């Protein structure tokens, strides 16, 4: 039995990081949102079957490096696994190097970024190993063989005699019910809050993995695979009930590539929630072509209060080039049936995809206004490692900035131009889009009407000032 430490590193310089979670690439979030480390909790649940496990969420607990180091020395772990993302990779690598100087252990990385940059990560950092793709069973086997030859372990990259090698990918599990529920007892659950839950604690649940679509900008397709695999309704409900009854958390965010992909599954889950009288508030995401009136009303009855849609553009040609594989005309229907059911709609757009022009951006902003969702976010097209967009951008010489810290699509940077617009033009267009949408009297009144507590108003004012300043 070993001591195993799972770490979500804090930012050790002056910058602050608030958001780092499965599939996410933003390093900061409006309103100082702290997202649960459900990915690490899954790994902990597998590891603690045989070992002593501790999770440190340095971001949510706002710890500095010295505080992290103190815990490390007290716990004395033989294995330290660090969760990282593209914009935080430089910082997280530095944390690993500093820890390695102070504590002898086996060090590894996990996350979408390192799944897509295995050899680069091993060559450029002090990591001993990298977990690739679906990590839980790989991590379990690695811990079992930690003192043995690692060459038989599928799903890892590691250093062998100073050389970085990849053993090959592990076959992903068909039955996700075989995974234990995340070890939430090891997380600072009350720290995870955001504006959309009125700053009340929330949990994230992963109901499925894999996506059959091929959007060129998506960074999670490779790590989770194209095969859509869902947990059983009973298994997901059991986790929801645990979140509510054991941890006293009333807000749930479903982290699925597309929650609404299987209508029968969604209806069955909603029926289970209603039949069992589980009173929870939950959010999910959807493609604009995978929701209908029946589903929306069932979701509302079961406690759903917000659905996020990746609309991406108001131009069908741009969507086609991005391999979104969706008819733009379905966006109006999707948002209408959602709002008609009494559920808030959140629409996401991307500025700067291949083919984007100043005229197409104007069209997208106009289209967003015509949809009139409750919330919108205009992201900046970012060529994340492992995506087809990165390959396209490399081939065409579009990448202007290779600093991973700037690969934050939330709007802090634009690292890529396209064939029509410079990176600076794309950056400014994203700022303008946010202002044009939110700084309308109807939107200002709508957002103010949602204020329930003084802290909500303070956070909303902070977010509003960021929009006005173009931050």
Indicate the pairing of strand 202-205 with strand 208-209.
unpaired
Radius of gyration, CA atoms only, the chain = 22
Distance of CA 458 to the CA centre of its chain: 25
Query: DSSP string spanning 21-41?
Result: -TT---S--TT------HHHH
User: How far is Cα 296 from Cα 299, in angstroms, rounded to an integer?
Assistant: 5
What is each CA distance from 228 to 209, 399, 421, 444, in whole angstroms? 6, 32, 36, 39
Contact call for residues 378 and 434 (beta carbons, < 8 A): yes
317: left (phi over 0), alpha (psi -120 to 50) or beta: alpha
Query: CA-to-CA distance for 290 and 136, rounded, in angstroms?
Result: 30
Q: What is the 3-state secondary structure (H, E, C) of 345-386?
A: EEEEEEECCCCCCHHHHHHHHHHHHHHCCCEEEEEECCCCCC
Look at the block and give the residue holding tokens 């949809």.
Answer: 371
Q: In the prediction, which pLDDT does 442 show?
A: 66
**Of 37, 67, 76, the residue nearest 55 (C-alpha):** 37
The arithmetic mean of pLDDT across residues 391-395, rounded, is 98
Q: Can you say whether residue 325 is alpha, beta or left, with left for phi > 0 and alpha for psi between -120 and 50 degrees?
A: left
The per-residue pLDDT for 119 is 96
- As a whole number, mean pLDDT of residues 433-452 equals 72
Report the SS3 class of residue 339.
helix
Calpha distance 384→218 (Å, rounded):
8
CA distances from 301 to 208, 298, 335 (A): 22, 5, 17
**Nearest alpha-carbon partner for 459 in 260, 194, 265, 235:** 194
Confidence of residue 471 (pLDDT cuts 50, 70, 90): very low
What token pair was written down for 312?
A: 């991406």
pLDDT at 174: 93
Among 290, 447, 311, which residue's Cα sits nearest to residue 374?
447
As a whole number, the mean pLDDT across the chain is 91
The arithmetic mean of pLDDT across residues 390-413, rounded, is: 92
pLDDT of residue 411: 75
Q: Which residue's structure tokens are 């951006």? A: 361
CATH class of domain segment(s) 193-469? alpha beta
Cα 27 from chain centroid (whole Å) = 10
pLDDT band for position 410 (50/70/90)?
Answer: confident
Q: How far apart are the first and last CA of the chain?
A: 48
Residue 104 confidence (pLDDT) above 60:
yes
If you average pLDDT over residues 430-444, what whole number do you get?
84
pLDDT exceeding 70 applies to what percent of the chain? 89
**Average pLDDT for 299-311:** 98
Tokens of 445: 């009144």
Q: Above 90 in pLDDT, residue 15?
A: no
Tell me the β-bridge partners of 80. 5, 107
Name the CATH topology of 3-166. Answer: Rossmann fold (3.40.50)
Residue 358 confidence (pLDDT): 98
137 Cβ neighbours under 8 A, 6+ residues apart: 46, 155, 170, 173
- Give the bridge partners for 377, in sequence order: 348
Structure tokens at 436: 């044009």
Q: Where are the domains of the chain?
A: 3-166, 193-469
Asked whether the predicted pLDDT for residue 18 surpasses 90, the reply is no
Long-range CB pairs of 330-337, under 8 A, 24+ apart, other chains included: 330/288, 330/289, 331/288, 331/367, 331/371, 332/370, 332/371, 333/288, 334/286, 334/288, 334/289, 334/291, 334/309, 335/288, 335/309, 335/371, 335/372, 335/373, 337/291, 337/292, 337/293, 337/296
Alpha helices in 145-260 (DSSP H): 221-224, 233-245
Average confidence (pLDDT) over 14-20: 58
What is the structure's pLDDT at 441? 66
Beta bridge partners of 350: 379
58 contacts 7 by C-beta, under 8 angstroms: yes
3-state secondary structure of 96: helix
Maximum Cα–Cα distance for the chain, whole Å?
65
Taking 60 as the threshold, does the pLDDT of residue 29 lie above it? no
| pLDDT value of residue 449 | 60
**pLDDT for 149-188, tens place per residue?**
999 999 999 999 889 999 989 999 999 999 999 999 999 9
So what's the pLDDT on residue 453? Answer: 57
30-83 per-position pLDDT tens digit? 556 899 999 999 999 999 999 999 999 999 999 999 999 999 999 999 999 999
Q: Is the dihedral of CA 34, 40, 42, 44 positive or negative?
A: negative
Confidence (pTM): 0.92
**Quick one: pLDDT band at residue 321, thresholds 50, 70, 90?**
very high
* Residue 268: pLDDT over 90: yes
pLDDT of residue 113: 93
pLDDT tens string 205-239: 999 999 999 999 998 766 788 899 999 999 999 99
Nearest CA to 382 among 403, 357, 364? 403
Task: Report the side by side order of strands in the sheet with 52-57.
Answer: 52-57, 3-8, 79-83, 106-110, 129-131, 156-160, 163-166
In sign, the C-alpha dihedral spanning 441, 444, 450, 452 is: negative
């Amino acid at each position: 039995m070993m001591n195993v430490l799972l770490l979500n590193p804090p930012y050790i310089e002056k910058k602050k990081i608030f958001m780092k979670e499965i599939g996410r690439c933003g390093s900061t979030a409006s309103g100082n949102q702290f997202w649960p480390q459900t990915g690490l909790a899954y790994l902990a649940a597998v590891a603690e079957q045989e070992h002593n496990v501790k999770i440190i969420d340095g971001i949510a607990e706002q710890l500095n490096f010295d505080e992290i180091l103190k815990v490390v020395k007290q716990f004395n772990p033989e294995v330290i696994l660090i969760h990282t993302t593209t914009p935080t990779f430089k910082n997280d690598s530095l944390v690993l190097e500093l820890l390695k100087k102070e504590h002898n252990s086996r060090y590894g990385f996990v996350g979408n970024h390192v799944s897509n940059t295995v050899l680069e990560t091993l060559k450029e950092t002090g990591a001993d190993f990298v977990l690739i793709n679906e990590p839980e069973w790989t991590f379990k086997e690695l811990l079992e063989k930690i003192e043995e030859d690692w060459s038989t372990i599928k799903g890892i990259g590691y250093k062998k005699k100073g050389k970085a090698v990849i053993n090959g990918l592990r076959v992903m599990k068909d039955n996700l019910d075989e995974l234990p529920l995340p070890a939430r007892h090891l997380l600072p659950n009350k720290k995870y809050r955001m504006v959309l839950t009125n700053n009340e604690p929330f949990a994230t649940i992963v109901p499925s993995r894999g996506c059959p679509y091929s959007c060129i900008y998506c960074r999670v397709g490779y790590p989770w695979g194209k095969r859509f695999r869902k947990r059983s309704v009973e298994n997901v409900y059991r986790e929801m009930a645990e979140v509510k009854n054991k941890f006293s958390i009333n807000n749930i965010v479903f982290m699925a590539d597309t929650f609404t992909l299987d209508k029968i599954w969604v209806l069955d889950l909603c029926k289970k929630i209603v039949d069992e009288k589980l009173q929870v508030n939950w959010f999910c995401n959807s493609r604009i072509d995978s929701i209908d009136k029946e589903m929306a009303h069932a979701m509302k009855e079961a406690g759903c209060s917000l659905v996020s849609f990746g609309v991406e553009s108001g131009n069908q040609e741009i969507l086609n080039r991005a391999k979104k594989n969706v008819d733009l005309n379905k966006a109006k229907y999707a948002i209408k049936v959602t709002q008609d059911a009494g559920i808030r709609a959140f629409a996401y757009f991307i500025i700067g995809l291949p083919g984007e022009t100043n005229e197409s951006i104007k069209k997208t902003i106009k289209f967003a206004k015509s949809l009139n969702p409750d919330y919108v976010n205009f992201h900046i097209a970012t060529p994340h490692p492992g995506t087809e967009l990165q390959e396209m951008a490399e081939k065409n010489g579009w990448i202007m900035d290779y600093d991973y810290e700037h690969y934050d699509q939330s709007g802090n940077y634009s690292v890529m131009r396209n064939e029509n617009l410079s990176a600076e033009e794309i950056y400014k267009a994203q700022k303008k889009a946010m202002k044009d949408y939110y700084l309308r009297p109807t939107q200002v009144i709508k957002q103010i009407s949602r204020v329930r507590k003084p802290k909500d108003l303070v956070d909303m004012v902070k977010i509003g000032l960021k929009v006005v300043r173009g931050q």
